[in-house]
Amino acid sequence: MTVLIPVLGDQLSPDLSALRGADPADGVVLMMEVADETRYVRHHKTKLVYILSAMRHHAAALRAAGWQVDYVRLDDPDNCGSFTGEVARAVARHGPDRIVVTEAGEWRVAAMLDSWETLFGLPVEIHPDTRFVCSHAEFADWAEDRASLTMEFFYRQMRQKTGLLMNGRKPEGDRWNFDKENRKPAQADLLMPRPLAFPSDAVTQEVIALVEARFGNHPGSLAGFYYAVTAADAERQAAHFLAHALPRFGDFEDAMLAGERFLWHSILSPYINSGLLDPLDLCRRAEAEYRAGRAPLNSVEGYIRQIIGWREFMRGIYWREGPDYVDRNHLDHRRALPGWYWTGETDMRCLAESLGQTLATAHAHHIQRLMVIGNFALLIGADPKQVHQWYLEVYLDAYEWVELPNTLGMSQFGDGGLVGSKPYVSSGAYINRMSDYCRGCRYDVGKRTGEDACPYNALYWDFLVRHRDRLGDNRRLAMPYRSWDRMAAEEQAATRAQAQAFLAQLDASGSAEAY
């Protein structure tokens, strides 16, 4: 009896469901570096190095744990470039009686797994991915018959299910959510925690050379690759976060500072999403920090909400909405992203900082992704599918199941309000309140019109006016629409003319197609 167990690049967990019931004595683990996965978008070079190096290290860890691992490298001359092609070759090599695999993380790959039984004439067991708190069926049950899907209510159910921060049936601190306390702007501080930097070992160096040679035209730089690529090093970063950054995570969750790429964020999403860290374990350890009096409730509740709330909710939406969610474009946006999304070369300082760090490190924190980069794309009317592809390309933690609902849904309102009840748009005032970017910018955040006016300002009003037919009766936008209506007609006209001139200039300066 031989069981073939394919383990995909985001399934690097030692207790993966496919491995749980299997016996190393008769199981062959198959890991495949394949061209199709490296090229379905132009992944940031850092993302390619991270995934391939983490896969190679995970194969070594599985071997050390007694598994036979058949590992196909990208530069293997016989590599046929796809999961299905490589499973076919492995079936021929090992003659298995069955295939056991953990469900894939996205529609594209799930369709491949579904085809294997017929293709290979073998039983294929597809196990649920138990690294998530909420199963597909549970999310479907929760969502059924609800007029709208509100993350906050889903989150409460996950709190009850996991028992995290619960006192019997009541939430710790008698409130479910402490977000109101989590919107403080930050000051530069020499004592700010920085994520650990991990030196590249020989395995990572070999992968860096491979990626430079094969993917030189992909975005991003590899100078100073410092991410963890093993579970042990990811765990070091987790312990570092819990001890040094978690206590102030909540207070400064939405803050942005020039030159400060990480603030009090965990920088753990790449490791959680690829399987090196277990999300529920991190939540339990965060709760233990609170119970021991080492971290305040607003921080710990905020952190836990991001994981068992937002992360699980996004996954639920992704699978519930189906493979054509990616094509939704509620606001009918068609503009190409400006080419400088791939270079960071713009004189808008907030964007130069956020894009610059994205291209340098494959990371930006949530508010940079949402309220600087995504906000601008939405205000200019960028095509949400192209925006989605950009995010999928450039972030180390980007896998479609989590990236798509965040980008197309939350950030671009492409789903018409399924994920977020109003579009996340703002003028420069929000960015100025939550960051120090505007102080060093060539634009004046206080101006709406004129050569040096902050572009976000006119674009914000123009967006609201352009979409009044679709958004005018949204209660959460009633205030800005009232403010617009109170504005003098000449000021309204000047604001719209300013926005139109900016958009025309943007179009004339060349689009993403050039890249």
User: Which residue ranges make up the site for ligand SF4 (CB under 6 A)?
Assistant: 348-350, 428, 431-432, 437-438, 441, 443, 445, 454-456
Instruction: Kindly list the residues in this chain that would bind ligand DLZ in the complex (CB under 6 A).
Output: 8-10, 32-34, 37-38, 43, 48, 51, 104-106, 109, 399
Does 307 bind ligand FAD (CB under 6 A)? Our answer is yes
Q: What angle do CA 256, 262, 265 make, to 5 degrees?
A: 95
Work out how close the CB of 373 gets to ligand SF4 at its nearest, in angstroms, rounded to a whole number: 11
Does 218 bind ligand FAD (CB under 6 A)? Our answer is no
Q: What residues numbered 13-72 form the site for ligand FAD, per CB under 6 A?
A: none
Among all chains, which residue has been given the structure tokens 């617009």? 484
Q: Contacting ligand FAD (CB under 6 A), which of 403, 415, 436, 462?
A: 403
Work out how close the CB of 428 gets to ligand FAD at its nearest, in angstroms, rounded to a whole number: 19
Q: How far apart, in whole angstroms, are the C-alpha atoms of residue 444 and residue 435? A: 14
Looking at beta carbons only, is 39 or 184 nearer to ligand DLZ?
39
Tell me the two tokens of residue 115: 């085809």
Q: Contacting ligand FAD (CB under 6 A), which of 44, 47, 218, 311?
A: 311
The phi and psi torsions of 443 (rounded to 5 degrees) equal -95, 155
Number of residues in contact with ligand FAD, rule: CB under 6 A? 28
Looking at beta carbons only, is 231 or 242 nearer to ligand DLZ?
231
Looking at beta carbons only, is 313 or 460 nearer to ligand FAD?
313
Q: What residues numbered 341-400 form the site for ligand FAD, per CB under 6 A?
A: 365-366, 369-370, 374, 391, 395, 397-398
**Single-letter amino acid code for the residue at 185:** P
Looking at beta carbons only, is 399 or 437 nearer to ligand SF4?
437
Burial of 14 (0-12, 13-18, 19+ CB in 10 A): middle
Work out how close the CB of 449 gets to ligand FAD at its nearest, in angstroms, rounded to a whole number: 29
Q: How far apart, in whole angstroms, are the C-alpha atoms of residue 318 and residue 321? A: 6
Work out how close the CB of 372 gets to ligand SF4 at its nearest, in angstroms, rounded to a whole number: 7
The pairing of strands 170-171 and 166-167 is antiparallel
Q: How far apart, in whole angstroms, are the C-alpha atoms of residue 211 and residue 227? A: 16
Do 392 and 400 meet the contact criterion of CB atoms below 8 Å apart?
yes
The DSSP line for 40-88 is TTT--HHHHHHHHHHHHHHHHHHHHTT-EEEEE-TT-TT--SSHHHHHH
Does 287 bind ligand FAD (CB under 6 A)? Our answer is no
Angstrom CA distances, 70 to 4, 90, 94, stand at 10, 8, 10
Q: Which residues pair with 335 in a beta bridge?
A: 382
Given the rule CB under 6 A, which of 89-97, 117-125, 303-311, 483-491 is the region that contacts ligand FAD?
303-311
With CB cut-offs between 5 and 8 Å by kind, which of ligand SF4, ligand DLZ, ligand FAD, none does residue 10 bind? Answer: ligand DLZ
Give CB contacts under 8 A, 24+ apart, made by 23-28: 24/65, 24/66, 24/67, 24/68, 26/1, 26/2, 27/2, 27/3, 27/67, 27/68, 27/100, 28/2, 28/3, 28/4, 28/68, 28/69, 28/70, 28/90, 28/94, 28/96
Residue 55: name the closest of 25, 13, 85 by CA. Answer: 13
Does 457 bind ligand FAD (CB under 6 A)? Our answer is no
Q: What residues numbered 233-272 form the site for ligand FAD, per CB under 6 A?
A: 265-269, 272
Q: Which residues pair with 382 in a beta bridge?
A: 335
With CB cut-offs between 5 and 8 Å by kind, which of ligand DLZ, ligand SF4, ligand FAD, none does residue 432 bind? Answer: ligand SF4
With CB cut-offs between 5 and 8 Å by kind, which of ligand FAD, ligand SF4, ligand DLZ, none does residue 132 bind? Answer: none
- The residue of the chain with the least Cβ separation from ligand DLZ equals 9
The residues binding ligand FAD (CB under 6 A) are 265-269, 272-273, 303, 306-307, 310-311, 314, 365-366, 369-370, 374, 391, 395, 397-398, 402-403, 406-407, 410-411
